[in-house]
Amino acid sequence: MIKEQINNLLEEGYECDFLDYKLKQYPPKLNPNFIKDVMAMANSHYDGDKFIIIGVNDDCEIIGIDKNEEFVDSAIYQDIILNYVEPDITIDYFKHIYEGKTLGILKIANDNNNKPYLIKKEIASLKLGSCIIRKGSKNSSANRSDLDKIYNNKENFYISMLNPILRAVNDNEGLAYLQVSIRNHTSLPVTIIGGTLYVLDNQNNIISKHPVYGLDNYVGADFKLALSPMSEKVGDLHLGFTSTDCLRLGLDQYGTTEKEFLFKLRLYDTLNNEYTVDEKNCVVFAKGEFLWKVKV
């Protein structure tokens, strides 16, 4: 999968806040530019893996690394970063062959999520406490608003629909499933005690409502989901679903429809805080006894 991802970047990508191109390898010794580039990527506001691809010139032309040049060991680069940046950034450096040319891939994985990253040992132009951030295709010193955004993002509660398809397939228990990610990026524990998925048409009219009964397991009306600080839960929400919902949603006898819907998911915790997420172009399908009213 990583090979396909890198190939897509090479074919379609351009320098941005998660991708940088370099023609030559960084020297296997202390180098301020190397430290600056890695720290900038790690501090980027982009929520995903970041890459520095070596062997590509300023015109995005793939040149490759000279075959006579020794490929730098990933551990050398890692040691430099660990010695000069705090908190720790883990990186990986590996070969990638593209159209017969050898490239160097420096990956700063998304699990480096303890921003902001700062200089902990002064070197050349990088003063103690310096913070460099990637903005678009450029590296620059982080300003107050950059740091505010980083700290605000560290104290947020996120819900994401990983696959916006409501699958009504458990007709024995009257349940449909929706794949989600729930992230507690705050310094306090959060306990979710309920919620509802609303399915709306393209005029924002609510067509159906589906109570939350569990995550990966059916619990029912007593559903609770405890998330410790800086944690994430990924899985299928268990949602109530009935044969009447099939009629409301306009499903045919095969349990499908060409319509696309808007999903609104609302969860609330023990302190009555509400967390919401909207997703467009969503799909609903059903199977089994859910369809008996449609068939009648």
Question: In the predicted model, what is the mean pLDDT of residues 137-158?
Answer: 85
Instruction: Report which DSSP code applies to 290.
Output: G
Q: Which two tokens stand for residue 107?
A: 């990956």
Of the listed ranges 150-164, 209-223, 279-293, the least confidently predicted one is 150-164
What are residue 261's DSSP bridge partners? 282
For residue 1, the model assigns a pLDDT of 73
Contact 262, 282 (CB under 8 A): yes
- 175-221: per-residue pLDDT in tens? 999 999 999 988 889 999 999 999 999 999 999 999 999 999 999 98
Per-residue pLDDT band for 129 (boundaries 50, 70, 90) equals very high
Nearby residues of 200 by Cβ (< 8 Å), 6 or more positions away: 206, 207, 261, 262, 263, 264
118: pLDDT strictly greater than 80: yes
- 27-45: per-residue pLDDT in tens? 999 999 999 999 999 999 9
CA dist 287 and 187 (Å) reads 42
- Sign for the pseudo-dihedral over CA of 54, 46, 75, 131: positive
CA dist 54 and 165 (Å) reads 39
Q: Which two tokens stand for residue 193?
A: 């005690």
Question: In the predicted model, what is the mean pLDDT of residues 120-146?
Answer: 92
Domains of the chain, by residue range, sit at 2-153, 156-295
101: pLDDT strictly greater than 90: yes
Q: Please check whether the two domains, 2-153 and 156-295, share a CATH topology.
A: no
Strand pairing category for 274-286 and 156-170: parallel
Q: Which two tokens stand for residue 276?
A: 């919401």
For residue 29, the model assigns a pLDDT of 92
In DSSP notation, 134-160 reads EETTEEEE--HHHHHHHHHHHTEEEEE
For residue 186, the model assigns a pLDDT of 83
Report yes or no on whether pTM surpasses 0.75.
no
Domain 156-295 belongs to what topology?
Answer: Immunoglobulin-like (2.60.40)
258: pLDDT strictly greater than 90: yes
Per-residue pLDDT band for 156 (boundaries 50, 70, 90) equals confident
- Sign for the pseudo-dihedral over CA of 111, 155, 46, 84: negative
Of the options 3.30.950.30, 2.60.60.20, 2.170.270.10, 3.30.565.10, the CATH number for the domain spanning 2-153: 3.30.950.30
Average model confidence (pLDDT) for the chain?
A: 94
For residue 188, the model assigns a pLDDT of 87
For residue 148, the model assigns a pLDDT of 84
104: pLDDT strictly greater than 80: yes
Nearest to 85 by CA among 28, 123, 140, 139: 123
Q: What is the dihedral of CA 210, 212, 215, 217, to 10 degrees?
A: -90
For residue 47, the model assigns a pLDDT of 82
